[in-house]
Amino acid sequence: MTINERLRDELIAHRVNLTRYEAGVVSKLVATLSADDAELAARLLVALEDVPAGSISVKKLSRLLAPVREVNRKAVTRFFGELGQVLKEFTEYEAGFGFDLMKSLLPEVVSQRGLLKKIDAGQAYVRAVAEPFHGYTLKDWTDKLETDRFARIVNTIRTGQGNGDAPDQIVRSIRGTKARNWQDGALNKSRANASAIGYSALAHAAEVVREQTAPVNDHLIKAKQWLSTLDNKTSPPCRIRDALTYTLDNQPIKHGIPWGDGPGRLHFHCRSTYTLIFKSWQEMGLLTDDLTSAEKDALSGEVPEPITYPAWIARQRASRQDDILGPVRGKLLRSGGLNLTSFYTEDGRWLTLDELRQRDAAAFKRAGLD
């Protein structure tokens, strides 16, 4: 296997791991946004007692809701403050991970001669915060979420007034009900928006790190290859770009599909990433005596052939398969004669183990799981 193939495989695994990391982090961040919902509801109820029956101007309503606006601002500010800290730690980790991974794959002579350069994680963080993703910087998203969240509160109040709802009914329409885990209120849409921002900010930060890595190592790296997570959730824009190559300044190589905003930023919750294509050892300026025959073969500079996610996971080590799929599905994959697509229904739903056993009991027997 060439170094470029090994790098591609490890970056796919890293993207899978990041998906799980992102889910945990974003869940905690969204919880901080909702931490003051009880206080917000209490202040809202008090404010609504002062709202006269009948129509009221938006300006006057906004004035009466000043205490509610303050709680909303506090919640949004805390959410983005914690997101900023997460991004700082994340960019530091990503910078170290990328450098260590490339160092472990490249011949030792590359490190001995100081050819592999490490980026400044602090600068990467500054760029991640300052550069826009999906059209807005992190500061812009803060203002946008705060404004949107408050507007939902105001609009729900006006709708409730129009329907003749009592103040406590309006508050429930805004916050939701405990019986439904607060998911039936107007604020739930803002939680979904905050979640999307969190996922996109992390993906954006990861790509900023890689974007800085390539230019400082352009004496070793010659191109980028787009990697999409090819499953039933892959978007059409990402699917069409999978395995396409681009120059280090994002120009298409032998195709006409533009880079756009790039992997991780092409759309909200984009799971695509990209791998870097190392030059051949000759293009790097290494001498024939610097490398063994095996190292020369591995450092050929060839672009890896396209690989689907099912094909990728089928050739991973057992521990990685078990980590991603779970030990039972991992064993079914290795010894039961099943492939990744066997774990899904035709419409892309993840099958339970009981459902898998009903569909193919023989596979469990072959894997020694009967």
Question: Domain check: are 255 and 124 in the same one?
Answer: no
Per-residue model confidence (pLDDT) at position 54: 66
Report the alpha-carbon distance of residue 7 to residue 206 in Å, rounded.
16
Q: Are 77 and 156 contained in the same domain?
A: yes
pLDDT for the residue 231: 60
How many angstroms separate the CA atoms of 290 and 295, rounded?
Answer: 9
Does one domain contain both 193 and 108? yes
**Which residues sit opposite 19 in a β-bridge?**
none
Distance CA 327, CA 324 (A): 9
- Asked whether residue 225 falls in the same domain as residue 192, the answer is no
Task: HSE, CB side, 13 Å, CA atoms: give it for residue 160.
Answer: 21
pTM given for the model: 0.85
pLDDT at 230: 59
Asked if 75 and 191 sit in the same domain, the reply is yes
Domain holding 30, by residue range, is: 3-199
Which of 300, 331, 355 is the last residue in one of the domains? 300
Residue 307, domain member (yes or no): no
My answer on whether 161 and 236 are in the same domain is no
Q: State CA 370 to chain mean position distance.
A: 37
Verify that 194 and 286 share a domain, yes or no.
Answer: no
Residues 31 and 108 both lie in one domain:
yes
Looking at the structure, do residues 171 and 37 belong to the same domain, yes or no?
A: yes
What confidence tens digit (pLDDT) does each residue in 178-196 have? 999 999 999 999 999 999 9
Chain segment 299-318, per-residue pLDDT in tens: 999 999 988 888 888 989 99
pLDDT at 234: 78
Specify if 159 maps to a domain: yes
Domain count, the chain: 3
What pLDDT sits at residue 195? 96
Neighbouring CB atoms inside 10 A of 128's CB total 25
For residue 17, give the 3-state DSSP assignment.
helix
Direct distance between the N- and C-terminal alpha carbons of the chain, in angstroms, rounded to an integer: 36
246 and 156 within one domain: no
Dist CA 101 CA 12 (whole Å) = 13
Please identify every stretch of the chain with a pLDDT value under 50, giving residue numbers as ranges. Answer: none
Examine the domain organization and report whether 172 and 222 are in the same domain: no
